[in-house]
Amino acid sequence: MSPSKVPAGGARGYIIPIGGGEQKEHNPVILDRFVQLCGGRDARLMVIPTASKLEDTGARYQRLFSDLGAAEVHVLDFDTRRDAYEPGRLAQIADCDGIFLTGGNQLRLSTLIGGTDVARMLRERNAHGAHIAGTSAGASFLSEHMIAFGEDNVTPHAGSVTLAPGLGLTNRVVIDQHFTQRNRLGRLITALAFNPFLIGLGLDEDTAAFIGPDQTVEVEGSGTLTVVDAEHLKFSSMDQAGANDPVSMLGLTMHVLIRGNTFNLHSREASAGTLAVGKS
């Protein structure tokens, strides 16, 4: 699939992967910014807790977003693929300013929602201006190429990561989460080694990438976003490596971004953004 087309004169909504573990009660800057982006006191939000197996995940985010001032917050879960074709549920999504996908297991999202009317509607809604955020597993699922599962604490090698089709809001990036906390550089680089056209986004916990309609990513939260860009890759040993052989990647560009820094997915330029104020 490809991202849905933006109608003439319109603007795509933000795509907002979050690295998991975002602040919820004390200083919830990421969740608050999402609510404000969606309209603040006018925001109509939908929480999709399908990745999670915990009973109260949806209700918890519903309460958090309500406390942050959203006008309406609903929870919509999917237990079967049939649920994801049900007109009543689709109608609820059609009406939202923002959709939030919780953490859990991204394979639950892809196996239950992938290829259904709900997946199509989420892409359409985003193309028509609705903002779609996801945390942890919900973040991984947002892009066309999704890290389905993989290994932590490893040197890059072919067996370290398994990709699967995701929701497809964007096809420029592959997203990993809990990035520094779980030492996932090796598997993110491996994902890029398969096909270097992708840009790797490694999100720390309590850190979000606000990907705007102009393809500019702005970082929010207390950690870093590590961008790995293989555009100028000079050599990779991926084609000659066995599943457990370490893989070389020569000529990567890396940016470690903090709150306020930006990266443009189209020009592939990193910028200090608001941190550069007052700097020459």
Amino acid at 56: D
Of 183, 195, 267, 274, which one interacts with its own copies (CB under 8 A)?
183
Least separation in angstroms between residue 239's CB and its own copies is 10
In the three-class reduction of DSSP (H, G, I as helix; E, B as strand; rest coil), residue 82 is classed as helix
Question: Is 145 in the active site?
Answer: no
Could you tell me the smallest distance in angstroms from the CB atom of residue 227 to its own copies? 9
- End-to-end Cα separation, the chain, in angstroms: 44
Reference 202, options 267, 130, 252, 274; nearest CA is 252
CA distance 53 to 276: 43
Q: Is there binding between residue 181 and its own copies (CB under 8 A)?
A: yes
CA distances for 118 relative to 109, 112, 113, 209, angstroms: 11, 10, 7, 24
Binding flag, residue 252, its own copies (CB under 8 A): yes
Beta-carbon contacts of residue 133 (< 8 Å; ≥ 6 apart): 14, 15, 16, 17, 18, 34, 98, 99, 100, 101, 208
Active site residue 86: no
x/- letters, 136..175, toward its own copies (CB under 8 A): -----------------xxxx-------------------
Coil vs helix vs strand at 65: helix
Residue 251 binds to its own copies (criterion: CB under 8 A): yes
Taking CB under 8 A as the criterion, the residue among 105, 116, 143, 224 binding its own copies is 224
274 binds its own copies (CB under 8 A): no
Binding mask 188-207 for its own copies (x = CB under 8 A): -x--------------x---
Applying CB under 8 A, what is the total number of residues that bind its own copies? 39
Strands 270-271, 262-264: pairing is: antiparallel
Query: Which residue carries 């096909």 as its tokens?
Result: 195
Identify which range of 1-9, 58-66, 85-93, 185-193 contacts its own copies by CB under 8 A.
Answer: 185-193
Query: 26 an active-site residue?
Result: no
List residues binding its own copies (CB under 8 A).
153-156, 180-181, 183, 185-186, 189, 204, 222-224, 228, 234-235, 237, 240, 245-258, 261, 270-272, 275-276
User: Which residues are identified as catalytic?
Assistant: 136, 178, 205
